[in-house]
Amino acid sequence: MLRARFQSTIAASTSHSAANTAVSATSASVAKATPDVVVKPIVGYWMLTISAMTFGIVVVGGMTRLTESGLSIVEWNLIKGMKPPRSQEEWNEEFEKYKQFPEYKILNRGMTLEEFKRIFYYEWSHRMLGRAIGAAFILPGLYFAARGMLTKNIARRSLIIGGLIGFQGALGWYMVKSGLDEQLMNTPGATPRVSQYRLAAHLGSAFLIYTGAFMTGLKILTDYKVSKGGYEVSVSLAAALNNPALKRFKGAAHGIVALVFLTAISGAFVAGLDAGLIYNEFPLMGGRLMPPVNELFDEKFVRQGENPKLGLWRNMFDNQVTVQFNHRVLATTTFTAVSSLFLYSRGLSLPPHVRLGVNVLMGIACCQVGLGIATLLYMVPVSLGTAHQAGSLTLLTSALYLMHSMKKLPIAKKIPLK
């Protein structure tokens, strides 16, 4: 009897020692991630505000593209361009400028002044929101920097985001210029529109700004929250997040972020080529799972004297049929990946906030697929097209949140606030 009790005591002691060792190991590994200082929440909210404004400009930009308003303002003036025409004379002057370029001459000849005002205000609103983002970034950023409220890491991130915002403005005008090219008048069958390559770069840059600001904001607020919480809570949560069984799950979540981003960029090529106006059916294309090979790889995209292989690759980005097919494949792949991750997560022990992230990601993915199919079937109406573009960024947001929710947490004992 005494021997049994002694053995039981030894076993319990060993188990307790192992548990302590595991927690100590977790504490040591997490302590390495402990920041020297915690940035105040106001800086995190500033970053989230920038990300929210970027979300807004992506949606407005989608509406501008869908209403074919992007070429209505034919010059770029950072300060002067803030003021829209007021008098009849100013409106006539602005309209006359527009009439000198291919879009009016080829597509909109006979447009009235009132019709021009409508497309003008879409583009003007898009540009004004871009200016507002610049001001919302620069002014608070200078204040925080002057007050020493940014750590080196956050300051470095802020500089990168600020550089991307400036680059995005220049890239936007570079994109618009591609649709104002007079050479379009001399090209048979040409449609005045911006380069799909520049459009994709413009959208991709906006997504990078959004991602940078959103993730930086979450990092700041998470670090602050942990610093105000208990040491034991931090260690317990860190132990759950550092479970080796979650390693594959974390890798898959990172892969989904990349897939969502790539699918959104492929959507920019669809928009740039108006490829959503063909094959308005789903899941088939012309009654088949995929179009004929001679449509996917059309020889007309092979330039004279050029290596035929290069022309075949050009189909991937210049051919409406191929571009739409690529977007379908990427969208289906992304949805399949999200669904697989969701099903895989059912068998895992996940912290509540990670479980919430998986569930939200699955729900938004279903909505986005539905929006995409409806947009195609109804031949890209402005309302559905805009909702689909907003949905892509919403899906990216949920994927980013899931990725962030599984990051190692810093343990804050008494971390000073900066």
CA-CA distance, 120 to 140, in Å (whole number)?
31
The helix (run of H) or strand (run of E) holding residue 416 is none
User: Is the pLDDT assigned to residue 408 strictly greater than 80?
Assistant: no
pTM: 0.88
The residue ranking higher by pLDDT, 315 or 244, is 315
Q: What is the pLDDT of residue 148?
A: 93
Predicted confidence band of residue 409 (pLDDT cuts 50, 70, 90): low
Query: What is residue 288's three-state secondary structure?
Result: strand
Q: What is the pLDDT of residue 17?
A: 42
Q: What is the pLDDT of residue 240?
A: 73
pLDDT above 90: percentage of residues in the chain? 72
CA-CA distance, 173 to 127, in Å (whole number)?
10
User: Is the pLDDT assigned to residue 359 strictly greater than 90?
Assistant: yes
What does the pLDDT look like over 33-61, one tens digit per residue?
444 578 899 999 999 999 999 999 999 99
Please list the alpha-helical segments (H only) found in 32-112. 41-66, 88-99, 102
Q: Return the sign of the alpha-carbon dihedral for residues 226, 232, 235, 238.
A: negative
Looking at residues 253-275, what average pLDDT do you find? 97
Are 165 and 134 a contacting pair, CB within 8 Å? yes
Looking at residues 95-100, what average pLDDT do you find? 96
User: Is the pLDDT assigned to residue 230 strictly greater than 80?
Assistant: no
Q: What is the distance of C-alpha 229 from the center of its chain?
A: 31
Predicted confidence band of residue 232 (pLDDT cuts 50, 70, 90): low
Q: What is the pLDDT of residue 36?
A: 53
CB-based contacts of 273, cutoff 8 Å, min separation 6: 196, 318, 320, 323
User: Is the pLDDT assigned to residue 6 strictly greater than 50?
Assistant: no
What does the pLDDT look like over 327-345, one tens digit per residue?
999 999 999 999 999 999 9
Are 359 and 274 a contacting pair, CB within 8 Å? no
Q: What is the pLDDT of residue 3?
A: 40
Looking at residues 62-87, what average pLDDT do you find? 95
Q: What is the pLDDT of residue 245?
A: 73
Nearest Cα residue to 253 out of 95, 360, 101: 360
CA-CA distance, 244 to 170, in Å (whole number)?
45
Q: What is the pLDDT of residue 15?
A: 37
What does the pLDDT look like over 271-324, one tens digit per residue?
999 999 999 999 999 999 999 999 999 888 887 777 777 778 889 999 999 999
Tokens of 37: 């200082």
User: Is the pLDDT assigned to residue 220 strictly greater than 50?
Assistant: yes
List, as one string, the DSSP characters of 299-315. Answer: GGGSPTTS-HHHHHHHH
The residue ranking higher by pLDDT, 188 or 18, is 188
Report the mean per-residue pLDDT for the chain.
87
Q: What is the pLDDT of residue 234?
A: 61
Q: What is the pLDDT of residue 19?
A: 37
Predicted confidence band of residue 30 (pLDDT cuts 50, 70, 90): very low
Beta bridge partners of 417: 38
